[in-house]
Every structure is written in C-alpha cells, then in structure tokens.
Amino acid sequence: MTMPLEGITVVDLSRLAPGPYASMLLGDLGADVILVEAPAGSVSAMGGGGDDEAAQRRRAHNALARNKRSIVVNLKEEAGREVVHRLASSADVFLEGFRPGVVDRLGVGYEAIAETNPRIVYCSLSGYGQTGPYSQMVGHDINYISIGGALGMIGRPGQKPAIPYNVIADFAGGGLMSAFSILAALMARDRTGRGQYLDMSMSDNVLYLLASQTAGVLAGGPPPVPGARGLGGGSPHYDAYECADGKFLSLGSLEPHFWANLCEVVGRPDMQPHEFDASKHEEFKGHLERTFKTKTRDEWFAELRDIDLCVAPVLTLDEALEDEHQRARGMVVEVDDPRAGTVRQVGIGPKFSDTPGQVRTTAPTPGQHTEELLAGLGYEASDIASMREQGAVG
C-alpha cells in the first residue's frame, strides 16, 4: 500500500525526544528514516542500552525509533563525516538537534551539507534557536514553556505553576512543528528546485502555539493567568470535578446550549440566565462539586456521555490506552519484533483515506543497518571492514 511520504529519505542525527519524534512522524507516513547513531557510550536515540531481554523489550516498545534504519557513525573521524555526506547526497531531509554550532564544528552543518546536496531540506532543532541572546543556553521543556509564556498561565490561582509533562515544547513545539515545517519546505522545493535551512526553536514555537492568546494581549488586553475564567479552569463549567471514587470528570460546557443542558442535568435550571454572571459562579461550582461526588467517574460518564454537555473522564495514560474509543480508532497497534515478539505501541494519529501510514518495524538496534547502508552507498566490503577497525563506523 502506498504511503504519503514514500520516496522521501531522511538522515536523522537527532538524539533527544523532539527530533526522534519529528522523524517518527515522517517515518510513520512512509519516509525512509536513517538514524545516524553515535558510537557506544554516547547519547543514543534509542535510550538506555544493553542486550538482555529487558533491554530488547524497551527497544521494541520505543515508538520514537520505529520505522527507521540505524547506522553507527563516529563524526569525529574524517571517514565517518564522509559517510554522512554520502548519505546526505541522495537524501531529501537532514535533521539535527545539537546545540547551535556543534554540527558546523563536526563538518556536517548546513553549508557543508548543502554543498554536497543543494536540494536538501536541513532542519536544526534546538531549544532557543540558532540566534538571539539565549541561543547558547541549555534547557528542557520546562524552560522553553517558561520563556514561551505557556507555563505562566497553567495552574490554579495563588499556587505555583502546574508543570505539565513535556508535551508542549518537546513534542508539539519541537517534533510536530519540525515535521510540519519539513513537509512545507519539501513542497516549496517542488516549486523552486532548491532546498533550504530550517531554524526550529522550541521556545519560538511555544509562543507560536499561543497565537490565539497572544492576539488578546497584543490588542491591549491582560495576559492569561492561572485559573482564569473561560479556558483557564476558573469557570464552573470549564473545570475538572472529583467524583465518589476519587477520580475526575472534565466539563467543557462553554456554549449557551451546553451550559443550559448542564444546569438541567445537575438540577439547577435557575442558573441558566447566569452563565456570564461571575458573582453566581462560586455558588454553582460548589453545587457541582457536591453533585459529582455522589457517583463514580465512570457512572457519571455513562449517564452523561450521550447528552450535549462536553464531558469526558479524566483518564490516566494506562486507562487511555485501553479506552474503547481509542482502541476503535486504532490508537494502539501490535507490531512484531524479531527479538521481543509481538509488542504494543501507540497507533498513528492522522487517518488518510487513500494513503494511510503504517507501523512497519520496531526500533532497530544501534548499527543494525550499517553494513546494508554502506553497501548501498557504494562502499566495498574491505572499505567497511577498514572503517570499522578505525572506529569510523560501527
């Protein structure tokens, strides 16, 4: 079955989550992703190490490295850098996630790679971008969502910011936005015949994700704050409520007809005229808190799910993976691994009617395809043996 990105080759030098997630998205849709792994002892896209059963199961379950081939290359060796240039010469995309300046020092920066292949789409993914006062700072998701303005609006009034898992900067601002930009650059190349350089900053893209919120502030309004009314959890009809079993139910009944249905369901039709009357909200919130504690989360969901109410159970991740809707949508798939047997992984989010993506292979072991890829680049067996001996490849 044809996939959307068949025929696209990606050379991926990234190591930590955002870059591998970007190339996973491309690989899931059919791109040939070649992981350029560091020698043993260096940071690996696979994460962890070892060859025992537990290590092999961790590798097989690692969705970020699925649908990829792996070659181990030592970029500190001239022969290793030559291998990367050969890989890039016939590739469409080059992805790296090092601190600004590192790839230039290693001889595989954009200028060097573009000289080898002017049609390459070269994506550098970093925390703060290649330029600006913070470009050389180290960081993680918590820092990027801080600079990008997201962390300051998440949480409850009077409490310290609520730190979300690293979805916003690493995966949305980093991996997802990079994959989106790479595809846009490939479309541009179809028109111009030229590749180009993509400077992807996770802190930039956090702010970019807040386009709707920035509009109000740039127009002179106040910034969103933790627990703000509306979408910040400060309104009784847009919040999560504890149920009898200690689990939570989420409400998002913002529109007037959803609000009216909520008032009816909880026995307070008198509140219908007061959706925007903040002076009544604390009273109504107290009523909702007491009401939802009379039944379990799942009892409430079963009762309310077919009413126009905007309601959903707050699921833990293990519950989400077993949820009937997620399973029906193919969001958990089984994949055969040659060493670990059948493993389950997260499915593919985008659903294509004609050219769907596919989880074809589990994560490779580091260097699993070194021989295959080098032979495909024209290296003789004796050359490969020599490079292995000198530590240029593995």
Dihedrals φ, ψ of 280, to 5°? Answer: -100, -10
Q: Please check whether residue 4 lies inside any domain of the structure.
A: no
What's the pLDDT score for residue 51? 77
Q: Please check whether residue 29 lies inside any domain of the structure.
A: yes
Choice among 140, 274, 287, 383 that is catalytic? 140
What's the pLDDT score for residue 167? 98
The interaxial angle of helices 211-218 and 202-209, nearest 10 deg, is 70
Domain boundary residue among 294, 324, 354? 324
Rounded CA separation 165/382 (Å)? 48
- Mean of the pLDDT values across residues 314-328? 98
- Mean of the pLDDT values across residues 192-214? 98
Q: Are strands 32-37 and 121-126 parallel, antiparallel or unpaired?
A: unpaired
- Confidence bin at 40 (pLDDT 50/70/90): confident
What's the pLDDT score for residue 44? 52
Residue 42, domain extent: 9-209+328-390
Q: Please check whether residue 219 lies inside any domain of the structure.
A: no
Dihedrals φ, ψ of 54, to 5°? Answer: -65, -40
- Please say whether the dihedral angle defined by the alpha carbons of residues 90, 95, 101 and 106, taken in this order, is positive or negative: negative
What's the pLDDT score for residue 42? 59
**Residues 181, 47 share a domain:** yes
Q: Is pLDDT at 161 greater than 90 in this prediction? A: yes
pTM: 0.95
Kindly report the average pLDDT of the chain as a whole number.
96
pLDDT digits 0-9 by tens, 352-382: 999 999 999 999 999 999 999 999 999 999 9
Q: How many CB atoms lie within 10 A of CB 388?
A: 16
Kindly report the CATH number assigned to the domain that includes residue 282: 3.30.1540.10
Q: How many CB atoms lie within 10 A of CB 139?
A: 16
Tokens 């998002």 map to which residue?
A: 252
Q: Are 178 and 123 in contact (CB under 8 A)?
A: yes
Looking at the structure of the chain, the number of domains it has is 2
Kindly report the CATH number assigned to the domain that includes residue 81: 3.40.50.10540
C-alpha triplet 378, 383, 387: angle, nearest 5°: 115
Q: Respond yes or no: is residue 170 known to be catalytic.
A: yes
Q: Is pLDDT at 320 greater than 80 in this prediction? A: yes
**Residues 189, 337 share a domain:** yes
What's the pLDDT score for residue 47? 47
Choice among 12, 32, 92, 170 that is catalytic? 170
**Residues 337, 320 share a domain:** no
pLDDT digits 0-9 by tens, 71-126: 999 999 999 999 999 999 999 999 999 999 999 999 999 999 999 999 999 999 99
Tokens 């060859």 map to which residue?
A: 51
pLDDT: is 76 or 42 the higher one?
A: 76
Domain boundary residue among 309, 324, 339? 324
**Residues 107, 174 share a domain:** yes
pLDDT digits 0-9 by tens, 324-356: 999 999 999 999 999 999 999 999 999 999 999
